[in-house]
Amino acid sequence: MSQSKAPILSVEGLSVSFPMPRSGIFGERQYLKAVRDISFDVPAGKTLGIVGESGSGKTTAAMATIRLTEAQAGVVEFNGTDLFKLSSEEMRQQRQHMQVIFQDPYSSLNPRDRVGAIVREPLDLMNVGDPKGRDARVAELFELVGLRPDQMALFPHQFSGGQRQRISIARALATNPALIVCDEPVSALDVAIQAQILNLLRKLQEELGLSYLFISHDLGVVQFICDEIAVMYLGEIVEQASRMDLFSKPQHPYTKALLETAPSLARRKSAGYRREALVEGDPPSPLNIPKGCAFAGRCPKATEKCLNERPELTFDGNRSVACHFPND
C-alpha cells in the first residue's frame, strides 16, 4: 500500500472458478472457487508477495491477472490498460511488458530447443529489433543472469536446476518487461541455490527497476524479497501489510499461525524442541465454501459470529485484515 508511487498493476475484485465435471449427464455442475473477489496493487519497482498454503489460490490469482488462466470477474489494470478488455491479439502484444518465471525449472523449458533459442524466442515473437540485434541481446542476457554466452547452443537437460532457472529469468527479461510474475521461482531448488537466485532477482530489480508479483509458500523467501505481503487463505486475501508490519505484528490468526509454524533453525537447535501445531486440520473445500469466515473451522478463537458472518478485508490506514477480532 505504498501510496508514494502509482501501482504498475492494480487488481480489483478478481474471481476465478473452474467448472468441475458433471456427476452425470443431468447432474448439476459444481464450480471450484479458486480465487474469490481479491484486490491488490503491485507498486512500481517494488515486490508484492502472495503467500499461502497449497491450494490457497495464489498461483491461480497470479496467472489470472496476466490472463494465462481465465478469470470470471474482476478488473486488472496494467500500466493503465484494462487487460481483461483487450482482444487476444492486443493482449499478446502486451505480453512483452509482463513476463513469468515458473516454479519448476525442469518443465518450464522446452526440452527440444537450444537454450539460446529459448531466450531469443520472446524477441522473435514480439518482433523486437533486427535479427543481429537479437543475437547480441541474447548474449547480453546470458551475461546478465550469470551464464556464459558460449552455453547458448546447449539443451536444457545439460543444465542444473539453478542454471535452468537463470535461463528462465533470462527469457523473462528478454523483452524488457516492467512486471515479472515469479511463481514460486525457488521452491524447487536447493537452499544454497535459492539464495543465489533470490540475490539475482533482487539485483535485477535494482538495476532494471522491475516490479515483481512474487508467489511463495516460504515465509523466509518472502521476508527476504518482498516489500509488501498479501496472505491468501482459501481464495481470499486475509491480511495484507508491509513486510515489517506483517512479520512483527501479524493481526490475522492465520498469519500468526503461519509465522509460528514456519520452521526456524534457531529454535530447532534447542534440545527437546517440538514445533507447536497451531493450526490443525485442512482448509475447507473450495467446492463448498463456508458462509462465515473461511478460517473459522481451524481458528483457535472463533466465535458464533465468525461462523455466520464473513469478515470483510478492512484497511486501517496501515494494513488490511479480514477478521472480526484482529487484535485479541
Partner 1 sequence: MENKHMGTEVEAAAHPLAETARMFIKNKAAVLGLIVLFVIILIAIFGPIFYTTDPEDMVWMAYSPPGEEGFLFGTDYLGRDLLAQMMQGARVSILVGLSAAFMTVFIGITVGALAGFYQGIVEEILMRITEFFQVLPTLLFSMVIVALFGASLPMITIAIGAVSWTAVARITRAEFMRIRSLEYVAAARAIGAKNNRLMFRVILPNALPPIIVQAALMVGSAILFEAGLSFLNLSDPNIISWGRIIGDNRVNILDSSFAVTIPGIAIFITVLAISLVGDGLNDAFNPKLRGR
Residues in contact with partner 1 by the rule CB under 8 A: 63, 66, 68, 92-93, 95-96, 99-100, 102-104, 107-112, 114, 121-122, 125-126, 148, 150-151, 153-155, 157-160, 163, 168, 171, 174-175
Within the chain, residue ranges assigned H as helices are 58-65, 88-94, 115-126, 131-144, 161-173, 191-208, 219-225, 243-248, 253-261, 265-269, 304-308
- Return the number of the residue (126 or 195) whose C-beta is nearest partner 1: 126
- Return the number of the residue (51 or 173) whose C-beta is nearest partner 1: 173
- Return the number of the residue (122 or 235) whose C-beta is nearest partner 1: 122
Question: Least CB distance from residue 2 to partner 1, whole Å?
Answer: 27
Question: Least CB distance from residue 179 to partner 1, whole Å?
Answer: 12
Question: Least CB distance from residue 202 to partner 1, whole Å?
Answer: 22
- Return the number of the residue (66 or 234) whose C-beta is nearest partner 1: 66
C-alpha triplet 202, 208, 211: angle, nearest 5°: 65
Give the Cα separation of 279 and 240 in Å (integer): 20
- Tell me the sheet residues that pair with 182: 101, 214
Measured torsion, CA atoms of residues 295, 299, 305, 309, in degrees rounded to the nearest 10: 0
- Return the number of the residue (95 or 256) whose C-beta is nearest partner 1: 95
Question: Least CB distance from residue 5 to partner 1, whole Å?
Answer: 25
Contact 322, 239 (CB under 8 A): yes
Question: Least CB distance from residue 162 to partner 1, whole Å?
Answer: 10
How far lies 115's CA from each of 17, 119, 126, 151, 165, in Å? 35, 6, 18, 8, 11
DSSP letters for 19-71: EPPPSSSSSPPPEEEEEEEEEEEEETTSEEEEE--TTSSHHHHHHHHTTSS--
Question: Least CB distance from residue 85 to partner 1, whole Å?
Answer: 18
- Return the number of the residue (82 or 150) whose C-beta is nearest partner 1: 150
